[in-house]
Chain A
Amino acid sequence: MPQAQVPMNTGRDLQKEMLQNWYGQLSQANEKGEKVAYLFISGNIMELLKVFDFHVVFPEVNALQCGIKRTAGDMILKAEDLGYSSDVCGYVKNDIGLVANDMTGPFGKMAKPDLLVCTYSGCNTYIKWFEALAAHFNCPLYMFDVPFSRGPETHAADIRYMLSELKELIALCEKITGKKYDEDKLKDILRRSREAEDLWVDILHSAKRTPSPFDAFFEAVFFMAPIYVLRGSQDCVDYYRAAKAEIDARVVSGTCPIPEEKFRVVMEGPPPWPHFRTFWELFKTWGVVCVGSSYSKVGGIWDFGFRHDPERPLESLAEYSLECYTNYNLGRRVEMLNRYMKEYNADALVIHSVKSCRAFSMGQADMREVFIHDLQVPTLFIESDLADPRYFSKAQLKNRIDAFFESLEHHRIVAGQTA
């Protein structure tokens, strides 16, 4: 069977390789005189910047890399030396530490920005973060303001505002790069975005199977990298084709990330990057597979139908920025998680609350109340951090995780459905 020949780690290994290449190109951009734009992941409008051939840098991805390569702790301390409080977001401190570290991280040298585009569909911290970089690099900052999403309806006034912003940004890009805006080029890019999005959604939906061939959190956080940082490129489409082939092959061969699936959970919140493996192990031991997660939707939510639309290029960029998880109010977040619970046939919800990110965590304790009391969903609430290694206590987490799944198992036995 052709599928059986697909290597079983394509999704992870290939994206690693792609990111390495990408970082390699970035490190030379300044010297080659190629323009560099910094963007945030949430609701990012990279397709538009690609029209002007900007290299795009995502400081959050740099922070994530430092986290996973275990250099975040040092970077964070560097930023704290400069006056940043121990209580502010570790991602920012990681990036500021990187700047103070002569722009050098585990991925090599980072390019300096010619333009900062702050997509404010994430958090307020984004604003402070890029204000600091704008001051440091003496670099133009475009504030792409995205109204907060308070319900499923889209307000015409919000879109009007954002369209005007996109046009202003186009003019700014023309000025910085000396290149003219080319709508046909944007359409082409968006067509490729869309193609990749279709494939990515197929992968996400595969977790509806029992057992699930894909971990929609622990694997998704890697599989999602290309859709957030390389969207619109042919490489990105090819990547998702290969990744989807891998998932298809897993289905055929019956290979699953968790060999003996015992519990299906939905995960809310980001992973603790500096302790990613340890964290995963704590769940693996219990045969837990994540069938849905919110973190893999921080940049954009496609699995409910949204796609970039080449026929409505700017409008669809605006809509995309509105509809990412970090731009949802608590009510919408609860709705989405609950939908995952049902559609993916999950047994429990796990809320991983991280200190760094109040955008995510403020309100999560209340969310737990909703799930436990109103929706009667078994819910595990645990705390650590996504960037700062100091806030990870393995013993504490293990206690909570073990106790939770033990009791879940017990309930199952009592209910007569032996696991």
Chain B
Amino acid sequence: MKTQPDMKFEERIAWCKEQLEDPTLPTLREFKGRNGTRAPIVGNFPVWAPQEIAHAAGALPVTIAGGGSSVEIDHADSRVQSFVCSISRSTLELGLRGYLDPIDAMVFTSICDVARNLGGVFKRNFPKIQTFYLHCPQNVASPAAVDYFATELRRFRRAMEDFIGDGITDAAIARSVGVFNEHRSALADLYTLRREHPEKISATESYLLLRASQLMPREEHTAILRSTFAELEARPTRRRDKIRVLIEGSFCEQPPWELIESMEDAGCYIVDDDFLLGPRWYDTPVKLGEDPIRSMAEAYVRYSVTSSIRHYGDRPRADHFAHKLKANQVDGVIFCAAKFCEPALYDYVLLKDIADQAGIPHLSFEFEEKMGVFETLRTQVETFVESILLFAD
């Protein structure tokens, strides 16, 4: 069997797709098979978790971002109501079907009311999985927020220590922060490439690569990204007459990859997006001070990217969004929110006005993990693209 790094680009993308479409999480089973109980697997629900700390404990940190379109919801429906986003139901379904068995722990954070309570549901339904809940600070304007969060992160560190039965040194955490900084920087390069040369790599390909990173060792993924860039250099491409769009609203539940592809086929270069935001939580490296936990807290409070799942005090999210529109030189915005995802749906009202003020046309729709038909949507996007191209002439 070829290992990831030996694969050619197209093969690799196909491999990523396979992983995504197999809800039994084969990479995790394989990892468990190789490492047994020596290295635990610490999962987290999107959007973000302090994976560096789990990594420093020698664990494999992974993100479980739902079951996508490949898992039938047979058991979870009786525990989560129909008016809740699909990711909460499908993630629970994965557990109820035993697909999360390789996972030793699961982390939830205060991103929304659904995730918060899903943590509680996990705790009860999966006594073998250790469930942690982290309250991430919302009051970033308070000077006490960093202190508070450092304590919360230390609590998590202690839980990890109890869990592995050993201490985690500061040096180990600092090393792990370094590993994640490198990975984030490789992902940032991927996004820069898309922004500058959207013809070199499609958003679908980039998404599949990004998604795969969440189920494998980060070091390996960084290496894969680096070799990908070298390969893409040589990829023969031609820029087409497409519009540049930004996708907003898909930070937690992920749209089916076919949906991303449909938008591209309909004439869009998706030059930026908020797909799976956790691994790209900082667009500058986390600055390490003497106490790496404090540095992590500082980074979270002071300079993470912005998204709908937290409050940013006097740095309103609207300004950041306006900046993003400008920096990416977009022709249009597609608001693409998971059905029932309140954080995204509320922000839509605010952000669409920002797009209006900037004179940038926008389109909005809601997706679900299990939507199977993309034709209507494709037509909608085509019309959107045409109207923009027409206006541009």
Q: Which of B80, B316, B339, B349 touches A366 (beta carbons < 8 Å)?
A: B80
Contact, CB under 8 Å: B148 / A161: yes
- Residues of the B chain whose Cβ atoms lie less than 8 Å from the Cβ of A174: none
**How many Å lie between the Cα of A5 and that of B88 in the bound state?**
55
Contact, CB under 8 Å: A127 / B83: no
12 additional contacts, CB 8 Å, given A84-B346, A87-B83?
A83-B348, A124-B111, A124-B116, A145-B138, A148-B116, A160-B144, A168-B142, A329-B119, A357-B113, A363-B80, A366-B80, A366-B124
24 residue pairs of the A-B complex, CB under 8 angstroms, read A83-B349, A85-B348, A85-B366, A87-B83, A87-B339, A92-B346, A124-B111, A125-B346, A128-B342, A128-B347, A132-B349, A143-B313, A145-B137, A145-B138, A147-B148, A155-B155, A168-B141, A329-B133, A330-B124, A362-B81, A362-B84, A363-B117, A366-B80, A366-B125
**How many residues of chain B are within 8 Å of chain A by beta carbon?**
54
Known A145-B139, A165-B139; judge A150-B133 contact (CB<8 A).
yes
Contact, CB under 8 Å: A83 / B120: no
- Residues of the A chain whose Cβ atoms lie less than 8 Å from the Cβ of B117: 329-330, 358-359, 362-363
For window 125-163 of A, CB contacts with B under 8 Å fall at 125, 127-129, 131-132, 135, 143-145, 147-148, 150, 155, 157-158, 160-161
**How many residues of chain A are within 8 Å of chain B by beta carbon?**
49
- Residues of the A chain whose Cβ atoms lie less than 8 Å from the Cβ of B345: 84-85, 87-88
Which partner residue on chain A sits nearest B111 by CB separation?
A124
Contact, CB under 8 Å: A127 / B114: no
A62 at the A/B interface (Cβ < 8 Å)?
A: no
- Residues of the A chain whose Cβ atoms lie less than 8 Å from the Cβ of B137: 145, 161
**How many Å lie between the Cα of A362 and that of B316 in the bound state?**
29
Contact, CB under 8 Å: A365 / B148: no
Known A157-B148, A161-B148; judge A365-B78 contact (CB<8 A).
yes
For window 158-177 of A, CB contacts with B under 8 Å fall at 158, 160-161, 164-165, 168
A370 at the A/B interface (Cβ < 8 Å)?
A: yes
Question: Ordered nearest first, which 9 A-B pairs have the shortest CB separation?
Answer: A330-B120, A164-B144, A161-B148, A128-B346, A157-B151, A363-B117, A145-B139, A359-B113, A362-B117
B147 at the A/B interface (Cβ < 8 Å)?
A: yes
**How many Å lie between the Cα of A361 and that of B121 in the bound state?**
12
- Residues of the A chain whose Cβ atoms lie less than 8 Å from the Cβ of B313: 143
A123 at the A/B interface (Cβ < 8 Å)?
A: yes
**How many Å lie between the Cα of A125 and that of B345 in the bound state?**
11
For window 356-394 of A, CB contacts with B under 8 Å fall at 357-359, 361-366, 369-370, 383
For window 334-357 of A, CB contacts with B under 8 Å fall at 353, 355, 357
Main secondary structure of the interface of B (DSSP, over half): helix
Known A87-B339, A358-B84, A364-B81; judge A132-B118 contact (CB<8 A).
no
The 0/1 profile, CB within 8 Å of A marked 1, for residues 105-142 of chain B is: 00000111110111111011100000001010111011
- Residues of the B chain whose Cβ atoms lie less than 8 Å from the Cβ of A369: 78-79
Contact, CB under 8 Å: B142 / A83: no
**How many Å lie between the Cα of A286 and that of B43 in the bound state?**
48
Binding site for B on A (CB under 8 A): 82-85, 87-89, 92, 120, 123-125, 127-129, 131-132, 135, 143-145, 147-148, 150, 155, 157-158, 160-161, 164-165, 168, 329-331, 353, 355, 357-359, 361-366, 369-370, 383
Which partner residue on chain A sits nearest B349 by CB separation?
A83
**How many Å lie between the Cα of A137 and that of B133 in the bound state?**
35
Contact, CB under 8 Å: A161 / B123: no
Contact, CB under 8 Å: B113 / A160: no
B363 at the A/B interface (Cβ < 8 Å)?
A: no
Which partner residue on chain B sits nearest A148 by CB separation?
B135
B152 at the A/B interface (Cβ < 8 Å)?
A: yes
**How many Å lie between the Cα of A147 and that of B148 in the bound state?**
10
B311 at the A/B interface (Cβ < 8 Å)?
A: yes
Contact, CB under 8 Å: A330 / B83: no
**How many Å lie between the Cα of A168 and that of B110 in the bound state?**
23
Contact, CB under 8 Å: B342 / A88: yes
Min CB distance A169 to B, Å, is 10
Which partner residue on chain B sits nearest A364 by CB separation?
B81
Of the listed residues B125, B141, B142, B309, the one surrounded by the most CB atoms of chain A closer than 10 A to its CB is B142
**How many Å lie between the Cα of A290 and that of B111 in the bound state?**
34
Which partner residue on chain A sits nearest B151 by CB separation?
A157
For window 53-99 of B, CB contacts with A under 8 Å fall at 78-81, 83-84, 88
**How many Å lie between the Cα of A331 and that of B348 in the bound state?**
33
Contact, CB under 8 Å: A132 / B114: no
Which partner residue on chain B sits nearest A333 by CB separation?
B120
Contact, CB under 8 Å: A365 / B81: yes
Which partner residue on chain B sits nearest A157 by CB separation?
B151
Contact, CB under 8 Å: B118 / A363: yes
Contact, CB under 8 Å: A147 / B139: no
Contact, CB under 8 Å: A161 / B311: no
**How many Å lie between the Cα of A144 and that of B118 in the bound state?**
24
Contact, CB under 8 Å: B148 / A158: yes
Of the listed residues A88, A358, A365, the one surrounded by the most CB atoms of chain B closer than 10 A to its CB is A358
Contact, CB under 8 Å: A124 / B348: no
Which partner residue on chain B sits nearest A125 by CB separation?
B342
**How many Å lie between the Cα of A129 and that of B347 in the bound state?**
10
Min CB distance A141 to B, Å, is 8
- Residues of the B chain whose Cβ atoms lie less than 8 Å from the Cβ of A132: 346, 349-350
Known A87-B340, A87-B345; judge A330-B121 contact (CB<8 A).
yes
